[in-house]
Structure 1
């Protein structure tokens, strides 16, 4: 019973922490542009995260709960190890003020347990890794190409500014819709980081787990700020239209990953899109020499490895203790 309560507390904290960062990423434009109050933005975030999780979240939850390690390894002790390791890695990234992939650290934490028992489904990684590389690259390319349509302003794109940017009400609707779309996409993928291991252990069904955890995930918007907002301010200032383009590109790629059962990093695609806008405005050389860019790339590589190592070590200790 004590172990179950420890697990519940860890899962709630993990979900809240994930939700806080994703709220900042989804509604920074709508809230920062004074289109929505914080309370309205929080309500919409919770609602659309819940819808995304319930409607499209199952494939990713299935991958995390069944396709990385054998389901029998998801004992309550090992699930505690997985959630703790992923949460600690996320905490380290937050201390460094770098947006981090909760999906990658969750997969790393699950893999750490599997490595300890020498039972990891390597074919799953051969399927996932190309998506982890290609989707951020695709996010960069798509955002860059779409960004070129509106920046810099010239005669050729004047109609865009005339129809959208110069009509504040239209722009407001566009920004709110894109923000909600982003929140929906987050729900389709990232909520499963907390649900997958629980479902793998048979502690809760996938659909019920997604429905229960999604509101907790959404409530993270009440408590936590957002390292992505800090990073984006240091990379490139965003206007409402460019921020909305990033939301659409990121959301579409995330939903695609979710339908394919790929636990995908929301912030990796989002930050890659930020780099595209920075490259468009400041040049690629300046963008990729930015200390924040280098720090972000290093953290993306290191923290999943740290999560795997922590999980591997703790799995050994916990299983020796409860043997």
Structure 2
């Protein structure tokens, strides 16, 4: 019976990792694939490599938090409990995909383990409080950092890193010399090469941050119970993620690559960079975080910062001046110098349709927070009242 439960636990853990790979590859490398910079196979391969690097280096700290520190006794991680916790995490992934809002596996994993800890009266309230505090603070940081970038730096960054695609190969192999060398394509500019490099580097950074935060969601209960060693668990989870990145992620890569026109590439790079850095920093201190919530607030902050260029700070605080427009992230001021803050004509901020949709944002944030709450209470009721667990 023990061997059967362990196999079931490993299968569910692999299912969670598989879905993590499918869900995270698109946001990380969708811009590069959509711009024709990378193929889907290369994108999946980069996702697999950098996810593993993030999991192996920083990710083990989050595994420790969920597997050993969130509860005061790891004895409650029986195989039956582990299978149930992983079932709740996998169920959250399915629910999020079904309703069209990606559920935070990190927050759901914390909720399911917290429900187990509550039922067994073994929840480490101090650790739980620290995690929840950062869940509140991190999106606020993302909003203000992105808002400052949008207000003061976006236009200049846009001129420097926006990807302008030219016809023909990006680089070519020059075989005329004694030693072959790589040269720019016939129509490639240095600006295009730089922008392309930025897109790929940001994708790798996002893959790394996903590894630091998400590896725990697949393996923490099994590592906490001692059924999997830390290193073996990281390799096992990373292989499952790589499988998802190279298979089902192809659909999300298509979707995000073709929908990029709704979010300017420069804006996507800024949002990805801010979100990935915050998630990685939280993982370094052992805090599992939701990339989607942080990225959503980063988008809102960036849009607010762009829109309020037409007002002074005082007017913005008082609610005067121009309200944030849906398309305020878009726009390339070209080579012209920007007017001073508060002197920019609202008509000079180009518009785009539904770049920031308040109702969609509210639905994402609501569901991202609701699913972990449901997971917590469902896990608590299951572990508390089902005789099998004996709590």
Q: Under a length normalisation based on structure 2, what TM-score does the superposition of the two structures give? A: 0.74
* Structure 2 spans left out of the alignment, 5+ residues: 165-190, 308-322, 327-354
Residue 368 of structure 2 corresponds to 300
Any residues of structure 2 matched to 1:254-265 within 5 Å, and which? 254-265=279-290
Residue 209 of structure 2 corresponds to 185
Of 75, 78, 82 in structure 1, the residue corresponding to residue 78 of structure 2 is: 75
User: Residues 131-184 of structure 1: CA distance to partner in whole angstroms, max 9, x if unpaired?
Assistant: 111111111222222233454x4xxx3x86157656211100111011101101
User: Residues 240-299 of structure 1: CA distance to partner in whole angstroms, max 9, x if unpaired?
Assistant: 222111221111111111110101112221222222334356754868872211211221
CA distance in 1, matches of 2:291, 2:218: 15
Of 234, 252, 257 in structure 2, the residue corresponding to residue 210 of structure 1 is: 234
Q: 1:25 to 1:316 in 2, by over 3 A?
A: same
Partner of 2:262, secondary structure, is coil
User: Is the Cα–Cα contact under 8 Å of residues 20 and 226 in structure 1 kept in the other structure?
Assistant: yes
Residue 145 of structure 1 corresponds to 148
Of 270, 274, 284 in structure 1, the residue corresponding to residue 295 of structure 2 is: 270
User: Is the Cα–Cα contact under 8 Å of residues 175 and 241 in structure 1 kept in the other structure?
Assistant: no
Count of residues in correspondence between the two structures: 314
Are 1:37 and 2:39 an aligned pair? yes
Q: How far 1:219 sits from its partner (Å)?
A: 2.2
Of 113, 123, 126 in structure 2, the residue corresponding to residue 123 of structure 1 is: 126
Q: How far 1:11 sits from its partner (Å)?
A: 0.7
* Structure 1 spans left out of the alignment, 5+ residues: none
Moved segments of 4+, more than 4 Å: 162-166, 224-227, 280-289
More helix by share: 1
Q: 1:27 to 1:314 in 2, by over 3 A?
A: same
Q: 1:5 to 1:84 in 2, by over 3 A?
A: same
Q: Under a length normalisation based on structure 1, what TM-score does the superposition of the two structures give? A: 0.89
CA distance in 1, matches of 2:32, 2:285: 29
CA distance in 2, matches of 1:261, 1:129: 12
Q: 1:78 to 1:322 in 2, by over 3 A?
A: closer
User: Is the Cα–Cα contact under 8 Å of residues 288 and 294 in structure 1 kept in the other structure?
Assistant: no
Moved more, 26-35 or 277-286: 277-286
Partner of 1:119, secondary structure, is coil
CA distance in 2, matches of 1:304, 1:160: 37
Are 1:57 and 2:81 an aligned pair? no
User: Is the Cα–Cα contact under 8 Å of residues 90 and 105 in structure 1 kept in the other structure?
Assistant: no
CA distance in 1, matches of 2:152, 2:37: 24
**TM-align CA RMSD:** 2.5
CA distance in 2, matches of 1:145, 1:165: 22
Are 1:176 and 2:200 an aligned pair? yes
Q: How far 1:54 sits from its partner (Å)?
A: 0.6
Higher relative contact order (CA 8 A, sep 6+): 1
Residue 24 of structure 1 corresponds to 26
CA distance in 1, matches of 2:158, 2:368: 36
Residue 198 of structure 1 corresponds to 222
Are 1:249 and 2:251 an aligned pair? no
Q: How far 1:233 sits from its partner (Å)?
A: 5.7
CA distance in 2, matches of 1:314, 1:30: 44
